């Protein structure tokens, strides 16, 4: 009876994902640039970035809060991650991420993640004096994710994420919410086969407001100034659907090679295909690489057919040091590189504590 109950809940998650997906993904490349909060599409975590986020069907632990929330149900006890990304090196863009995942009960896990994106000091220019700086300002992008996941059986895992999105400068800001839902199915004699589906960034439209949208002016035939407020147009969330699969090739001496692939359907840009490999040496050292493909990516960056600079090769490395072999605790250091067709790529560094 309990197994039937868990399977029914898992089926309900899938039933909720597919109708939303069918109504959300009607876009094409002609809608590129029409969504906002696109920082939600950036993977802030190091390990999954190292193989182009191709492991969405197999991602485990806290990093699954971005890729496929179902994977956080595999959190053994407590997991803590700090990550820093130099995004599109040369632009001065820096991403700081922090997260905590805690196992609850026999099959559940609660997770919290915070992502902050900083662009450094940007000069203030005016129409009257465009060549001289009038000071600086700092845009701030902050995403907070709260999640719960659960193992519904030995094969089916699922969960939901609530995201709070904040974008602001000194006098203009916008706040919104979005949800993710995901499910993973694991099978095989050694649980070496994984399938996953995740619907991400579904939520109401956002809108900017604040004093920065107001101007003081003098109306015709009037001597006193009036404050006029300009209305900001609403913008949609960059909804995304991921469907992936992975297979583990297990060898003697605890060596493992995992092949993974993922299809990414973007509602406001072209779809993408990602593939990757991860080789693990007794889980102490892990090497990974991946590739992201989308139509038009080999055109010149000035060509209208090339609408995304974030594609191409990815690579990563992890070194783990066991702290206690009995309970599986360890500390790991991660690095990942992502190619870009402009600037000098993106570099991520992370440290993970598993207790």
pLDDT band at 325, cuts 50/70/90? confident
pLDDT band at 199, cuts 50/70/90? very high
Of 201, 275, 184, 274, the residue nearest 241 (C-alpha): 201
pLDDT band at 141, cuts 50/70/90? very high
95 or 14: which carries more pLDDT confidence? 95
pLDDT band at 326, cuts 50/70/90? confident
Going through 129-224 in order, the beta strands assigned E by DSSP cover: 136-137, 140-151, 156-168, 173-187, 193-202, 214-218
pLDDT of residue 89: 92
pLDDT of residue 45: 97
Residue range(s) defining the domain that contains residue 189: 2-354
- Number of domains into which the chain is organized: 1
The CATH number linked to 84 is: 2.40.160.40
pTM of this prediction exceeds 0.85: yes
What average pLDDT does the segment 128-134 reach? 82
pLDDT of residue 66: 97
pLDDT of residue 29: 66
pLDDT of residue 28: 56
Q: Residue 178 phi/psi, 5° resolution?
A: -150, 160
CA distance linking residue 180 with residue 41, whole number of Å: 12
303 or 26: which carries more pLDDT confidence? 303
pLDDT tens digits for range 2-32: 554 444 444 444 444 444 444 444 445 667 7
Task: Retrieve residue 122's tokens.
Answer: 């940007």
pLDDT tens digits for range 200-247: 999 999 999 998 888 877 777 777 777 777 888 899 999 999 999 999
Helix (H) or strand (E) holding 9: helix 2-24
pLDDT of residue 18: 46
DSSP letters, 290-346, are EEEE-TTTTS-TTSTT---S--EEEEEEEEEEEEETTTTEEEEEEEEEE--SSTT-E
Q: Is 4 helix (H, G, I), strand (E, B) or coil?
A: helix
pLDDT mean across residues, the chain: 88
pLDDT band at 122, cuts 50/70/90? confident
């Amino acid at each position: 009876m309990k197994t039937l109950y868990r399977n029914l809940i898992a089926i309900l998650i899938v039933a909720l994902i597919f109708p939303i997906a069918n109504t959300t993904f009607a876009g094409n490349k002609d809608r590129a640039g029409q969504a906002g909060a696109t920082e939600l599409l950036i993977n802030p975590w190091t390990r999954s970035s190292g193989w182009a986020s191709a492991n969405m069907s197999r991602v485990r632990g806290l990093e699954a809060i971005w890729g496929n929330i179902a994977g956080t149900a595999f959190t053994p006890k407590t997991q803590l991650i700090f990550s820093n990304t130099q995004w599109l090196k040369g632009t001065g863009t820096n991403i700081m991420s922090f997260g905590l995942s805690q196992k609850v009960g026999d099959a559940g896990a609660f997770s919290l993640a915070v992502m902050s994106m900083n662009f450094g000091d940007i000069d203030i220019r005016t129409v009257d004096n465009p060549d001289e700086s009038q000071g600086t300002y700092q845009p701030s992008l902050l995403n907070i994710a709260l999640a719960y996941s659960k193992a519904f059986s030995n094969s089916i895992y699922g969960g939901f994420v609530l995201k709070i999105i904040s974008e602001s400068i000194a006098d203009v800001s916008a706040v919104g919410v979005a949800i993710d839902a995901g499910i993973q199915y694991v099978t095989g004699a050694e649980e070496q086969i994984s399938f996953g589906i995740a619907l991400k960034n579904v939520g109401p439209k956002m809108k900017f407001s604040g004093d920065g949208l107001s101007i003081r002016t003098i109306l015709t035939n009037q001597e006193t100034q009036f404050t006029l407020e300009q209305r900001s147009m609403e913008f949609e969330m960059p909804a995304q659907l991921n469907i992936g699969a992975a297979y583990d090739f297990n060898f003697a001496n605890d060596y493992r090679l995992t092949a993974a692939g993922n299809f990414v359907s973007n509602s406001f840009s072209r779809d993408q295909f990602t593939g990757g490999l991860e080789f693990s040496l007794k889980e102490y050292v892990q090497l990974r690489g991946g590739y992201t493909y989308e139509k038009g990516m080999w055109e010149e960056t000035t060509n209208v057919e090339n609408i995304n600079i974030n594609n191409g090769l990815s690579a990563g490395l992890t070194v783990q040091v066991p702290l206690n072999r009995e309970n599986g605790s360890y500390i790991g250091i991660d690095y990942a590189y992502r190619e870009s067709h402009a600037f000098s790529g993106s570099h991520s560094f992370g440290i993970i504590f598993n207790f």
